[in-house]
A and B are shown apart, each in its own frame.
Chain A
Amino acid sequence: MLAGENTMTAGPAEIASSDFGRVLVQRERRFATLLLAPAFFALLLTTTFPLLFLVYTSVYRINLSMPFMNGFVGLENYKVLLADDRFWHSLIVSLVYTISTVLLQIVIGLALALFVMNMKRGQGWFRIIAILPVVLSPAVVGMIWRTFMLAPEFGIVDYLAITAGLGSKNWLGDPSLAMVSVIVIHTWQWTPFAFMVLLASLASLPEDIYEAARIDRASAWQRFRRITLPLLRPAIVMVIIMRTMVALTAFAAIFTVTGGGPGTATEILNLYAYRKSFTELSIGYGSALAVALLIVTIIISAILFAIRRSK
């Protein structure tokens, strides 16, 4: 069909039309540049330039409270960083926080999506309620949990714990409980996201494969294991990638709830970089921590994208 059209336009007319075509292409290019340039420069200004400047400040000693000590230090900040126990601790907290929240979101989100998918009535309720946590500011979510849910005695969770005979717990003051609390809060807010995405892709799976499986008398587990899971794989991997990136740079929901505390129990790397820079005003070292976070992010996303591409 296409080849036929080409031979139709061959001949003297071709030269003229290709000239005209070239002018059109050129105009199109110019128009594209005009349309793209403002957004492109805005992004250069707000993302690329800060990134370069960050790398630059990371090789300086910049302390806003002691400006007379400032100066070029080369890789000193990075050397300090590698020997900094608090850095390694925050990296571990980051990984624990990220892996546990992402796993919980996927497992609970997928289980709920499978349940809700088979519900004959009431799906609408889930769809509406699932939206609520996702659209809220993590800062507001953090505040609500810190007070109305987890505060000693007055918080509902603590009240339930007392009623259940467990006694009042210091949900945010005890180091390991505080870690559990911030993980639960993040999971509470973002599981609906996994749920909604997985429910949408479940709904788009072809019906006839299941029919065939039923005729072959495949058990429910076999159907899930052999059909649903492989078909959902792209959606699951996508959710994992997106949620991992967010969890690694989570800030508000930890900052408002524990501030990284007690001590450094819930201090993820992101929060450590913030505290160093804006609480201790050590901008140079904070920059080095932020660069380290960027490198960790790149490594993890490279791994995840490799997983996505395989198979």
Chain B
Amino acid sequence: MADSDVQSWEYLERLQGTEFYRLYKNPTSALAIFRKRLSSLAKSLVMALLYLNAPLPVKDLDVWVKPGSRSEKEHALDLLQRYHITAVSSSKAYTLTENFSRSLRQALTGGGDTKSFGEIAHPPSNPSITVEDLDGFARNQWEGILGYMVGNSAIPLESTSTVVDPSPGVIELLKAGHLIELAGSSRLGYSPKITKDGFAFVLQDINTQVWSLLFLYVDHAEDFAMTKVAVLSFLFLISSLELGQAYTKSHLDADQLRILSDLSDFGIIYQSSSDSLDFYPTRLATTLTSDSNTSSSNNTNLSSALTTSSTSQAHGFIIIETNYRIYAYTSSPLQTSLLGLFTNLRSRHPNLITAKMTKSSVQRAVQMGITAEQIISYLTSHAHPQMRRHAIQAASAASDPAKAAQAASVIPATVLDQIHLWQIEKDRMTTTPGYLMKQFGTQAEYERYWQFADQIGVLVWRSDRKRMFFVNQIDSLRRFMKSSRESGAEG
């Protein structure tokens, strides 16, 4: 991947060890990483190691995990290693890194510096602010940004909701992240033109979008003379706050106040003005680091909270017929623009849009960098409740399980297949950046290494005949090869 493109959590994994060291000084950061990034097994391992006084020998840890779950174990250990949570000592034993364990203990049991989880303002300066107000604010800001990107202005529509234009800072950030390009001149004003990466961005779920933008923000923090770690710690702090509470700004420093005002442009926090005494986190903030295992349900909560005004149904407004016609019960200009990315819009009524997917409309989208999976996941997550009911009925009616699985998909199977076929026709070449591993001495050596790569989930391709395989990440594999060579030399 080109590095400054749409950011994701892999961005965090590229930080230096020392940066993690400073990051973990904050209990909220340690807790956020623990909640958001670790698999269930990795969490149990951390919990087991947390109050252990002596390092845990590697052999003892192997006993905890059933042989059948070896791949989960390797994956968990790899995660812990990548986030600098565990360290392997020279005597082959695991310990948690010092800052992480201290911070996590503090986060779990309380005590220490209470300000690390924010300070509640007593009494709030404006007690009349409700959770609904906050949701409304977050929705307007965020839809404003997305709407700006897909070019709301191109589709004039009477709409009850006011469209908020994003602030210059946000536009600058979108541009720096190559999500949009600005065309035009300073005299006539600039109009945004969305890029390939921007398309991929707008079709993602909200939580991913928010984080992508925040990582962009972190990446550009150094331009404003702030350190990445300071911004990240503050973001994690914001994410641990409680919805509907007012927090005082009194102990924040100048950098943090600056971040606050930028976050308010995103709709992540609300403050009545930049010099008000307190601020409110919105739902966008409080769901930032919700538990990785429940994030899908949180996302639906989040998106339903954020779409209630524009559509009468909380979520799910798209009906797809097997003849590729689409009926979308929405009046939101944003959703209209999104649908227009990969369909031909047919007609618009006060609360309904009809459209049709055709070969050319889907291929146009593919050309712009949208994948079939993105289209399908967008359609699935916004499918009308009636479509879901239909799918469930069809699944329960089908007698043999294979058929039931097929019928259970919300989108008609013919449509699913056709979208894929249309994509393949246009884009028959896939490329994956990474490393080609070759010239293995023996078949056993080759098999041991590709199996390890497969277990930690970095294996992309292999050819038994040529005794070669391809991985998208090499660090863990390199460590594994080194350690197994050493132990091979000993024995």
* A complexed with B: no
Chain A positions near chain B (C-beta within 8 angstroms): none
Chain B positions near chain A (C-beta within 8 angstroms): none
